[in-house]
Structure 1
Amino acid sequence: MKKIKKVFLIILILIAVLLLLAFSYLQYSKPKYEGEQSLEHIAKETTVYFDDYGIPHIYAASQKDAMTTLGFVHAQDRLWQMELMRRIAPGRLSEIFGNTTLKTDKFFAGIGIDESSAKAVSQLDKKSQTYILATAYLDGINQYIESGVTPVELRLLGITPEKFTLKDVYNIFGFMSFSFAMAQKTDPLLTDIRDRYGMDYLKDFGINGEFNTQQLKSYKGNLTEYSKISRSLTTMLESSPVPAFIGSNSWVIGSDKTKNGKVILANDPHIIYSQPGTWYEAHIVCPDYEMYGYYIAGTPFPLLGHNREYAYGLTMFENDDVDFFQEEENPNNQHQYKIDGAYKNYTYQQKVIKVKDSSDVKLNVKTSQHGPVVTGLLDGLASKKSIAMSWIYTQQKNQILDAVYQLSHAKDLSDFHKNIELIKAPGLNIMYGDAKGNIAWITSGKLYKVDKSVNTNFILNGANPVDNQRIFLPFAKNPSAINPPWQYVYSANNQPEAIDGYLYPGYYLPKDRALRIDNLLKSKSNWTKQEVSEMIVDNTSATAQAIVTGMTSSLHVAQFSANEKQSLKILKEWQGTHGLKEVAPTLYNKWLYFYLRDTFEDEFGKDNFKLLLSTHIIKQVIEHQSKNVASPWWDNITTKDKKETQADVLTQSFKEAIASLEKQLGNDVTAWQWEKVHRVEFQHPIGKLKLFSRFFNVGAFPISGSNEVINNQLFIYTDEAEIVVKGGPSTRRIIDFSDIENSWSVLPTGQSGNPMSEHYDDQAELFVNGKFRKMKLNKKEIEATSTRFVFKPK
């Protein structure tokens, strides 16, 4: 018995020692926000003031010194995130995560981002400020790697970070560009529906198929194979430890419509939620330069920014810059495909993917003139057909780093405008406002026209000369609005107007947010920063009331239960708002799920219906299809002896929604409040493991907002008891040129990616409650409210 006690005591002591060592290491790993640090390759002493939210305000004698310092402080807060970001595009996640990320690595290694990055680096002018300042930033990161504390995540995974290079920077931008694309989810899925049921079924999807009659007769696809492409790509992106960009709001109000007579810019880019969040804020001040910017981990120049002279933000254009082509292979030689009337050889490249605790995986990448054959890169596909992916980003000259440098160093609106042309992909709505009263909305992207017989929402015929035609347009044809007489510009990922009679193909989101923003902006001519801050968290849907009116008018109410009648009354009285204490949003979104399921699942099948729910196009469908009595989707194809009607499906789905809520939340309808179901948790990749979730994750919190309101808290329609918010504003910014030193912002969690930092989650409560904090520019205020960290030349 004494021996057992002794062994037990020794075990307890060992556990205590291990816990003490772990705690000591975590304390030691905290970022340093004050003191002194020697830094190589800076010419003069540089001072960094970390304000009360951990944002560095870097005061340097030169931009080069500032950038070296920025790299160092960025790395001490976000090195783990930088490591993830640089690994996804070249297919190197499996080196740290093992087989769980192999399918992601196989796809990204094959689509050519890494090769595009290498080519861009070789073409970069080594004497340019872009190159000089970018390499200074990387030097700062690498000095931190050499002298700083390795993040706890890398310790847990046993990873020693390598030095960062310019190719890493381009790879990060490359993944960011791909994550915008919606074609990979949508095109194969719509092709299946077209080929199986015909174009009548796609009229409710807003796809104009009148010019595709001839093509449809001559070119048919295979349902199972095409849908597998969509499912595989979607699963891969959703399981990625790196968040994707998905939407955004922005508007700029001209001086004639503001109370103080100065421009106000608002912006909230929508990105899948993660921890740490996407943006790192930093304020740089030099004798010849000042910028308060928002940086993606591992990149040297801000994608969002402002100073005393101008401000800029962005949303996703959602234009179509990815097309899929089914190649027609030579029946006598599988290594050839048909193009321009002749057979041409595929090119082949072998790549090696290193996998942690396992053997290397060899990947054979087959490429046609259109691009890589993705059916050979995606997991779970046994297709004999070769589907190639054509992507503007890898086909055009890559000048993304020059572009982002130029946008953050613009002299005026004209200079800012011309440099947007350097961005061939992704397509962006870039918003601009300045102290002189200029406002602008300008789109980036290398746009092109296709023949009127070609619909790029479908997989195209690689052997058809007409499908292969691309007429690239000059930058002057990109949609834009500069100083319009109505004195405001806005973007909410909505379809822009036709240019020269041509509507640019894309995967645009419904009009809801755009309509709400437009209606609010045109209704007032004396906007203030405070009113804009209330508008950016507005929860009112511009279309929900009309949708409810249409859907409820078709219901068979005679046999409704008491709870069903009470729920119907609540919905009919609803004003389309999504506050925490409201019941109507819970009813509405549950009903939408069952309506969509009962309408579309029989044709799509369970797996493909689930995939459909993750696309932008399903949001476009609801308003139109739900009121279309003649829609072919109402009939359930599995019930051969009955043809269901709009009223049948809407009544059935309404009753199913109420029954589900009774089971999940009880019989008291008034207790079905939005805050009980609509919640957000900011998940760290390692925090997905239950053992580490409380340490790494932030939340969960009940949160107001919903799909496609200005306060866009994105979720996939579901019958689950909890609606898990997947993404939303990655920051909210309001820049007021009448009070530029007191502009407002907020991050979803915090500035630091280090779980031991006080700034890991210190903005979370502000964010979920729709509040803000200052973006400080006044040096005296910064000095008075900050810690001081001095970097001395070594």
Structure 2
Amino acid sequence: MKILKKILKIVIVLIVIVSVSIWLYARTFYPVYDGEVVLDNISEKVTVYYDDSGVPHINAQNQKDAYTALGYVHAQDRLWQMELIRRIAPGRLSEIFGVKLIETDVFFSGLGIEENTDKVIAALDTNSEAYKYTMAYLEGINQFIEEGRTPLEYTLVGVEKQKFTIRDVYNVFGYMSFSFAMAHKTDPFLTGIKEKLGTAYLAELGIPIHKNTAILRNEKNPEMLGGVARAMNHIYESLPVSPFIGSNSWVIGANKTKSGRVLFANDPHIGFSQPSVWYQSHIKTPDYEIYGFNLALTPFALLGHNKDYAYGLTMFENDDVDLYFEQNNPENSNEYKTKDGYEKYRILEKTIKIKDRPDSTFQVKVSRHGPIMNTVMKGIDDPRPLAMQWIYTKLDNKILDVSYQLSHAKSLSEFKEGAKLLHAPGLNIMYGDAKDNIAWFASGKLYKYRDSLNRKLILDGASGDDEIVEYLDFEENPQAINPSWNYVYSANNQPDTIAGILYPGYYLPEDRGYRIQQLLENKDDWTREDVEEMIFDVTSPVVARNVQNLMNSFDPKDLNENEKKALTIITEWDGAYKKEMSAPTVYTRFIYEFLAGTFKDEMGDSFEDFMSTPAFMKKMIGTQAAKTTSIWWDDITTEDVEEKGDIVKKAFKNTVGFLENQLGASVDNWQWSKVASVEHGHALGQVPSLRGYFNVGPFAVDGGSEVINNQLFKLNDSGFYKVHAGPSTRRIVDFSDVENSVSILPTGQSGNVFSKHYDDQAEKYLKGEFVKMLLNQQEIEKSKNILSFIPKN
């Protein structure tokens, strides 16, 4: 017995020793939030106050020192995220993750982003403040790489740290720009429909460009001096960094607020990941201040505010990618046809390094339009060379200057000059200030083709007839400055006339835009608390119309009791996607069944392509629901000629039968929380044993497709809706009380799994709560954690 007690004591002591050792080892990975660090390349002491959410408030005597400190603190919280995102554009993910990401690497390395980066860097003004502060930011990152603790992820995957350069910064901009594009998904699909089914089918699928209830209005007033789609989805699914998807923003003018001051709101929709995409920081020097949201490796805030103005972004959804079929010379496959004769392709030699495998080499052919995608992208089974023309790589790139100018503007006029510089990606840039100005600029270089050209199809590269004929001046871009209706907004929907035309794009359906407009129009005494409630709104004003248009097409008298109950639930539904409701579950499954019953028989395998083009597919729901006749409703696999009512009734019966099998016989038990969830995935969370350690979630969610609290998921046959994207931050700036403006991140400020700020905002985010964005210096200086950077000399 005594021996057993001794053994037990020894075991307990060993357990304690091991536990303490693990704890002490883990402590070495913690970010340094207080104390002193000697920092190279700063001239004076910089003090960083960390608030309760882990946001660094950087106080410096000059901007160069401030940006050096920003680089250091950004790296200690997000170095692994920086490492991943810099590798996407040049095709270097396989070096870390092996052969499973070679398809992604080949694709991105073939887009021409690196070549564009080389051209831009060669022409940079190295005397500009934008360049100098960017280099200071990189110096801060690189000192952390040299002296800071290596993040655990580097050890787990076995990769060495490497210093960052300005090439990495521009490659990140390139990846960001491409993730906004939509043409590479939609155009090949529509071309396939035309060629396989004919123009009658295509005519009903052409994305309508017409005025609707949620069109973005233009008005400029003076400033107040006060196959491919599936392949693309596969590529994006394999990325360890979030793609950009959509967004909401609205700015309420002084005449519509209770305080008589501007209210600003923005929530960009981006793929969920861990860490989340934005890193918050607050820089203050004697001549400058910005509370900003930075992407990894971007020194200047893309979203930001101070006591004078606020700005934010949404996707414009304009068409800045055009696809062309080239014609090879039958005598020489290295030449392609133009209207002036045959020209030689430019040949790029590419090498992909693969972990634990030999390097992979390949060639990319480049025509006058751009890279030939057949060799860099799987899923293109058409033998014709498919070239991609992308405005980002076609025109001069000033995107670093754009971000600098937006974050350093002294007036609305200066801010507009920054918006003018953007050529791609197309962005809606939103603005509000303390002098009661509000504005919206659809920024990006817009251009025209000949009037009869359908840009939703793949163009003819050989004829010379399908070329850009005119670039528009920025003053012809959609925009509104201090409009008479006293608000501006954007929800990725169609803008009003530009230069006498409605500009083509891949705009999302009117649902969110209509809801924003509906709420803003009906109230003239808005407060910050009202906007907090609105930005978490989960109600669609469009689903009731869709339900009515569809359910009125058949006689429900022969439905069984469960089917009748489900029908009552969705016909009486107000369109709110709340966790405890069954109606969202019924409606979402029904929409899938309706789309499958309408399109799948004709499209065959291409139905997956259709479902993989969400902007296009979502638009077709309301469009098809409103029709009384359609060529698509006839099921070509039967001898009968089906009509709308036949398809809708069958879809509804299939819906109820599916949900009975999935969730049980009781309709009351079909709650949205049982089928919709979100999990913020870390790159290493794909390893089952590491998932619970690195990932955040899963959680049940309020919100659904195309409501203001937009929770994006794939509509497929599974019956489960894994939310993969949504508001990457919710942010509200109130110029009547700017020091109490608020925001929230989906998980937390830090990407360091050992930090207490790794996921400390996740529960608040799910509940629609907020944290304060501190600007008051006295309040900031009460911070418990203070990190001082001391000059080396």
TM-score, scaled to structure 2: 0.94
Q: In the alignment, which residue of structure 1 is the partner of 2:563?
A: 564
Aligned to 2:521: 522
Say whether residues 1:685 and 2:683 are aligned partners.
Answer: yes
CA-to-partner distance for each residue in 1:636-663, whole Å, 9 max, x for gaps?
A: 2222x12221111111110111111111
Match of 2:766 among 757, 765, 768: 768
- Determine the structure 2 residue equivalent to 1:5: none
> Could you say which residue in structure 1 is the equivalent of 2:6?
none
- Once residues 380 and 364 of structure 1 are traced to their aligned partners in structure 2, the CA distance between those partners, rounded to angstroms, is 18
Residue of structure 2 equivalent to 1:554: 553
Equivalent position of 1:728 in the other structure: 726
Asked if 2 retains the 8 angstrom alpha-carbon contact of 1:186 and 1:615, the reply is no
CA drift of 1:21 comes to: 5.9
Compared with structure 1, are the counterparts of its residues 612 and 723 closer, same or farther at alpha carbon in structure 2 (3 Å cutoff)? closer
Letter in 2 for 1:574: W
User: 1:731 touches 1:746 (CA, 8 Å); kept in 2?
Assistant: yes
The alpha-carbon distance between structure 1 residues 14 and 551, as it changes in their structure 2 partners (threshold 3 A), is farther
- In structure 1, runs of 5+ residues without a counterpart are 1-9, 211-226
SS in 1 for 2:98: helix
Matching residue of 1:648: 646
8 A contact 1:305–1:312 mirrored in 2: yes
Per-residue deviation, residues 330-358 of structure 1 (Å, max 9, x unmatched): 12221111112411111111111111100
Q: Counterpart of 2:772 in structure 1: which amino acid?
A: K
Q: How far off its partner does 1:231 sit?
A: 2.5
Q: Please say if residues 229 and 612 of structure 2, whose CA atoms lie closer than 8 Å, have aligned partners that are also in contact.
A: no
1-structure distance, mates of 2:17, 2:374: 52
RMSD of Structure 2 on Structure 1 (CA)? 2.0
1: CA distance between counterparts of 2:67 and 2:83? Answer: 19
Return the offset for 1:626: 1.9
What amino acid is aligned across from residue 135 of structure 1 in structure 2?
Answer: M
TM-score (norm 1): 0.94
1:47 pairs with 2:47:
yes
Matched, 1:100 2:100: yes
Look up the match of 2:73. 73
Distance 1:719 1:20, change over 3 A: farther
SS of 2:738's partner is: coil
What is the distance in 1 between the residues matched to 2:669 and 2:510?
A: 31
Kept after mapping to 2: 8 A contact 1:183/1:457: yes
Other structure's SS at 2:87 match: helix
User: What is the aligned length?
Assistant: 768
Counterpart position of 1:145: 145
Does the CA-based 8 Å contact 1:252-1:489 persist in structure 2?
A: yes
CA contact under 8 A between 2:325 and 2:459: conserved in structure 1?
A: yes
Equivalent residue letter for 2:101: T
Offset at residue 376 of structure 1 (A): 1.0
In the alignment, residue 326 of structure 2 is paired with which amino acid? E
Separation of aligned partners in 1, 2:103 and 2:543: 39
Contact kept, 8 Å, 1:541 with 1:577, in 2: the verdict is yes
Query: Aligned ranges for residues 50-61 of structure 1 at < 5 Å?
Result: 50-61=50-61
Change (3 A) 1:610 1:586: farther
2:309 maps to a residue whose letter is Y
| Structure 1 residues 570 and 120: alpha-carbon distance in aligned structure 2, compared to 1, 3 A threshold | same
SS in 2 for 1:467: coil
Residue 200 of structure 1 deviates from its aligned partner by: 2.2
Q: Which amino acid in the other structure matches residue 487 of structure 1?
A: N
CA distance 1:617–1:54, change in 2 (3 Å)? same
3-state DSSP of counterpart to 2:773: strand
Determine if contact 2:599/2:607 at 8 Å carries over to the other structure. no
Letter in 2 for 1:486: W
Equivalent-residue separation in structure 2 for 1:273 and 1:470 (angstroms):
39
Percent identity between matched residues is 51
Q: Which residue of 1 aligns with 2:707?
A: 709
Equivalences for 1:16-55 in 2 at 5 Å? 23-55=23-55
Q: Does the residue aligned with 2:620 lie in a helix, a strand or coil? A: helix
Partners of 2:38 and 2:790 within 8 A in 1: yes
For 2:72 and 2:476, locate their aligned partners in 1 and report how far apart those are by CA, in whole Å. Answer: 41
- Residue of structure 1 in register with 2:298 after alignment: 299
Q: Which amino acid aligns with 1:744?
A: V
The whole-number CA distance in structure 1 between the counterparts of 2:12 and 2:650 is: 60
Distance in 1, Cα, partners of 2:626 & 2:290: 50
User: How far apart in 1 are the matches of 2:501 and 2:485?
Assistant: 24
Assess if the C-alpha contact under 8 Å between 1:205 and 1:620 holds in 2. no
How far apart are 1:36 and its partner, in Å?
A: 0.9
Amino acid at match of 1:378: M
Instruction: Judge conservation of contact 1:421–1:445 (CA < 8 Å) in 2.
Output: yes
Q: 1:619 to 1:685 in 2, by over 3 A?
A: same
1:676 maps to what in 2? 674
Residues 477-501 of structure 1 deviation map (CA, whole Å, 9 limit, x = unaligned): 1110000011100000000011232
Alignment partner of 1:694 out of 689, 692, 702: 692
Q: Which residue of 2 aligns with 1:128?
A: 128
Distance 1:613 1:83 in 2: 29
Shift of 1:118: 1.6
1:492 corresponds to which residue? 491
Distance change (3 Å), C-alpha of 1:617 and 1:431: same
SS of corresponding position for 2:741: strand
**SS of residue matched to 1:558:** helix
How far off its partner does 1:542 sit?
A: 1.8
Look up the SS of the partner of 1:741 in the other structure. Answer: helix
Q: Deviations over 1:544-600 (max 9, x none)?
A: 100001111113423211110001111111111112211111111110111111111
Counterparts of 1:377 and 1:460, CA distance in 2: 19
Higher mean C-alpha deviation, range 630-639 or range 690-699: 630-639
Distance 1:452 1:779, change over 3 A: same
Read off the aligned partner of 2:678 and give its amino acid letter. V
1:583-622 to structure 2, matched below 5 A, reads 583-606=582-605, 608-609=607-608, 611-622=610-621
Alignment partners' CA distance in 2, 1:130 and 1:779: 26
1:355-378 Cα offsets, whole Å, 9 max, x none, are 110000102010000000011111
The residue number in structure 2 matching 1:83 is 83
- 8 Å Cα contact 2:94-2:102 kept in structure 1: yes
Q: Is the 8 A contact 2:589 2:719 kept in 1?
A: no
Quote the residue 1:365 is aligned against: 364
* Contact 2:233/2:612 (<8 A) preserved: no
Q: Which amino acid is 1:116 matched to?
A: N
The answer to whether 1:431 aligns with 2:430 is: yes
Unaligned runs of 5+ in 2: 1-9, 211-226
1:217 matched to which residue of 2? Answer: none
Task: Indicate conservation of the 8 Å contact 1:326/1:461, yes or no.
Answer: yes
Partner residue, 1:667:
665
Q: Which residue of 2 aligns with 1:780?
A: 778
